[in-house]
A and B are shown apart, each in its own frame.
Chain A
Amino acid sequence: MIAVLGLVVGVVAGLLVRPEVPAVVEPYLPIAVVAALDAVFGGLRAMLDGIFDDKVFVVSFLSNVVVAALIVFLGDKLGVGAQLSTGVVVVLGIRIFSNAAAIRRHVFRA
């Protein structure tokens, strides 16, 4: 419950504050958000499986974000930033879908 509250408060804060995103972070923010979403879905699924662990969640969340940003950063430096970020989004999207499928089975038993 507190976690859900945290998410809601974060969205509201982001909409209310509307901070200027620094130019350096700008290309990485969308990828980081997608990576974090992947971690959240993984965590939700783990909770439904009864194997949720906060430490694993924290590590996977942060490492997901960092690795995704790193890949995009590296891609930018190599000149294939657009393609790599597309690749990252595709992979994370597939993972999100598979996790969502598992969550669906738990919640709806279907």
Chain B
Amino acid sequence: MNSHDETPENRLRKELPEEVPADGASEVVDAPEEQRSELTGRQRLAKGLWPPRVTRAQLIVAVLLFGLGFGLAVQVASNSDGDSALRGARQEDLVRILDELDDRTQRLEDEKQGLEKQRDELENSSNQAEEARKQTVEKERQLGILAGTVAAQGPGITMTIDDTKGTVEADMLLDAIQELRAAGAEAIQVNGVRVVAGTYLTDSGNSVSVDGNKINAPYRFKVIGKPQDLEPALNIPGGVVQTLEKEQATVTIERSDKIVVDALRAAKRPDYARSSSQ
């Protein structure tokens, strides 16, 4: 740093003494020649500062320094005004700044569009996923009613077969279930056992087993379906009711607006059958 400083400094030192004798000789400065040469720089500075003397040199320098201080303060003040930071800028700088801002705006706009597109896609896909989920839930309910894994309620009939003589056998109950299914029954339970696609009925002594669950008379069928179809289907001549009455059983059928089929059956995963639709 210092070696760099030397060069201009030495040049100045050469230049200034050349000028000074020419100007300084004609303009007599306050201090005498011999006294000035003895003084060190520090002493000269102290002497210039105190006591204050009104000389022409001091006044001129004061005026110039006043101008400098004024300009300095004005510039600093106008620069530190936040909103006028661009006021001092040149036209080309302003144009450049404007261009940069435009570019930046463009880039941000592009980015925004991309992000919005992404958001829309995500929303769509999540909507679709939601829709698919709803449909799946709905389908699960419908299938659950068929498979007997969920409770069902709706209009239907209650059929009670009172078998005091113990003459009712499994095939008669099976006939009744077949007849109900043919008439559009959607959910059936017999004495607390849900009747599903795989339900089987067997005779066991005086009573009947449904899917291995022994049930005793009276057999109560709760059936959901259209009552106007179900009841005539059971009552047709030579049909279920007549057959059962021939066997000394009494059959009562009641229509109802609200039948609750709440016997459930655990969902069972098939061991061998696999869906071939995929």
Contacts and interface: CB of A to CB of B under 8 A. Distances in A.
Contacts of A1: 48-53, 58
Interface stretch (B71-79, B109-117, B161-169, B194-202): B71-79
A42 B12 CA distance: 9
B73 A11 contact: yes
A4 interface: yes
Contacts of B54: 2
Interface in B230-272: none
Given A79-B92, A102-B9, A30 B23 contact: no
B60 interface: yes
B108 interface: no
Interface stretch (B61-69, B120-128, B174-182, B218-226): B61-69
Nearest to A23: B87
Interface stretch (B34-42, B99-107, B140-148, B208-216): B34-42
Nearest to B69: A10
B34 to A, nearest CB: 12
Interface string A1-33: 111111111111111001101000011011011
Contacts of B65: 3-4, 6-7, 10, 40
B65 to A, nearest CB: 4
Interface residues of B, number: 56
Interface residues of A, number: 61
A36 B67 contact: yes
Contacts of A10: 65-73
B71 A98 contact: no
A38 to B, nearest CB: 11
Contacts of A37: 68, 72
Nearest to B19: A56
A2 B59 contact: yes
Interface of B: 2, 5, 8-9, 12-13, 16-17, 19-20, 23-24, 27, 29, 36-37, 39-42, 44-45, 48-54, 56-75, 77-78, 87-88, 90, 92-93
